[in-house]
Structure 1
Amino acid sequence: MKILGLDPGLGTTGWGLIEANGNRLSHIANGQIKTDTAAPLPRRLCALADQLEALIADHAPAGAAVEEVFVNKNAQSTLKLGQARGVILMCAARAGIDVGEYAPALVKKAVVGTGGAEKPQVHAMVSRLLPGAKIAGADAADALAVAITHAHHLATHRALKR
């Protein structure tokens, strides 16, 4: 099953695509969707949607997972992150993809073993879990971590159903 992991952001949205066959995970692709910081908010959201829809059309994932919003000290930043996340959820829903949503601490715990892990620890573990993957930055590493978390949760859910 192809799973698209997404780490939402208005300026940069990380994405990572993995293949999950039972407990075996393999890297397909990863990258970053960037928007023009000088453009008005509606244009940036539209650019995010356009690029994400193209990504989904190119790779046809069967599932997707998105990191949940955490509250920043800056309320404006939190609102913009929420709007970007809304665009991501809408694009996945329009493509008919079911989306898992995971808190950042849960993703860190699933991949690193502790919910308080730092970004470099997440990046290192993603590199170990997906050997040979050339990761396009911290946002892409976080997105791959979200995809890995979703794969693990789906595998657990299937096992419990049996």
Structure 2
Amino acid sequence: MSVVRVPVVRVLGVDPGLTRCGLGVVDGGRGREVDHVDVGVVRTPPDLDLAARLLRVADGVEEWLDRLRPDVVAIERVFAQHNVRTAMGTAQAGGVVALAAARRGIAVHFHTPSEVKAAVTGNGSADKAQVTTMITRILRLETAPKPADAADALALAVCHCWRAPMIERMARAEAAAQEQKRRYEARLAAERARTGTVRKASSR
């Protein structure tokens, strides 16, 4: 009996930030089973100007993309925070990561913090300590990844692995709905054209 091999999907999770940009890579695609590949953090000094810090983030991320060759990049979706300046820096770092992936033809997906927490802990309001504990257990790590940005990056990668089938089904359903709408509008336009032609012929 032939053995069906399930393709492995490599996901780079990114917890964007200027001071610390967490990066975590896992291999998934086999149901709930995920394997740890690498984890780390790209750091930039606060005394550099914004452009220089973003360049360092880009350089660090590009090194990971070229070395580990992920199939997908999962980035945390940034929401407005009380500290607008921090939120803007985080969003800009996320944009740099998405651009680096897009230049290489790598798919990019965004997940909200609550989606990530719910995926790995079952609680969308879990704190960072709970996320770190669960991701250490899920990936069978000997020690907890530090700092928290690194653990969050791994959680993003695991979240995408587990949510990917649902995302794919939703994309197929949306594509099917759009195709059905297109066909309906085409039939309606054809019927209107036919009716208009008949009316013109009868009025002569």
- Could you say which residue in structure 2 is the equivalent of 1:14? 22
Identity of aligned residues (%): 35
- Segments ≥4 residues shifted beyond 2 Å: 155-161
The amino acid across from 1:61 in the alignment is P
Alignment of 1:23-102 (within 5 A): 23=31, 24-102=33-111
Q: Tell me: CA distance 1:3–1:43, structure 2 relative to 1, closer, same or farther (3 Å).
A: same
The amino acid across from 1:150 in the alignment is H
Q: TM-score normalised to the size of structure 1?
A: 0.93
Q: Tell me: CA distance 1:156–1:22, structure 2 relative to 1, closer, same or farther (3 Å).
A: farther
Q: Secondary structure at the match of 2:11?
A: strand
- Could you say which residue in structure 2 is the equivalent of 1:107? 116
Q: How large is the Cα RMSD of the aligned pairs?
A: 1.5
Unpaired runs of 5+ residues, structure 2, are: 1-8, 173-204
Greater CA radius of gyration, 1 or 2? 2
Residue range with higher mean Cα deviation, 130-139 or 91-100: 130-139
Q: Secondary structure at the match of 2:162?
A: helix
- Could you say which residue in structure 2 is the equivalent of 1:151? 161
Q: Partners in 2 of 1:133 and 1:15 — Cα distance?
A: 18
Q: Partners in 1 of 2:56 and 2:13 — Cα distance?
A: 19
Q: TM-score normalised to the size of structure 2?
A: 0.75
Q: Partners in 1 of 2:36 and 2:114 — Cα distance?
A: 23
Q: Secondary structure at the match of 1:132?
A: coil
Q: Tell me: CA distance 1:50–1:145, structure 2 relative to 1, closer, same or farther (3 Å).
A: same
- Could you say which residue in structure 1 is the equivalent of 2:128? 119
Shift of 1:79: 1.2
Q: Tell me: CA distance 1:83–1:159, structure 2 relative to 1, closer, same or farther (3 Å).
A: closer
The number of aligned residues is 161
